[in-house]
Amino acid sequence: PSSSRALRCALALLTAFSTAFLTACASMVVPAPTAPRSPLAGTQWQLVAFESMSDEQGTARPPDPASYTLAFGPDGRANLRLDCNRGSATWQASAATGDTPGRRSGSLEFGTLASTRAMCPPASLETRIAKALPFVRSYVLVDGRLHLSLLADGGILVFAPAPRPPG
């Protein structure tokens, strides 16, 4: 009889301490570390040149840069206008260390591009850009322009800031 009373008392104390301990631990929520904000997040660009590393191809310039746009969402999604098509992909960037004043750079990769498939005019750069996007590996922001470098010297996409819509 007295041993069962002592056991019940010990269990009650153990339950009380366990509840207090778990409640204290639950209230100590540690916030998740936040990744440093990329200088690309929230920016919008329009293509001004596609520089090939091959002399045979040279540099291609779109007749209307506003037909080729790239918007980096703060949520990690990129929205693109590729001439007569629209597309989106995820993006992820890491800033380099040791940038010089007026120059920022880092690694950049895009996920799989999902896009419409309208037939653009024959001179369109849409196909070349859509094929190049998965090979982007780095970026450089210098002199107000965004340069996206492709893997293995595959070329450089050069963008200028896109005008913001009014309002």
The reported pLDDT for the residue numbered 2 is 57
Sign of the C-alpha dihedral computed for residues 40, 44, 49 and 52 taken in this order: positive
What would the pLDDT profile of 59-113 be if each residue is shown by its tens digit?
999 999 999 999 999 999 999 999 999 999 999 999 988 878 889 999 999 999 9
Higher-confidence residue: 24 or 137?
Answer: 137
The yes-or-no verdict on residue 141 having pLDDT over 50 is yes
pLDDT at 69: 98
Q: Give the phi and the psi of residue 118 in degrees, each rounded to 5.
A: -70, 150
| 33-50 average pLDDT score | 83
Is the pLDDT at 167 greater than 70? The verdict is: no
Q: For 147-166, how does the pLDDT look when each residue is reduced to its tens digit (9 = 90+)?
A: 999 998 899 999 999 998 77
> Do 132 and 113 contact (CB within 8 A), yes or no?
no
What is the share, in percent, of the chain residues with pLDDT greater than 90? Answer: 65
pTM (two decimals): 0.76
pLDDT of 26 above 90 = no
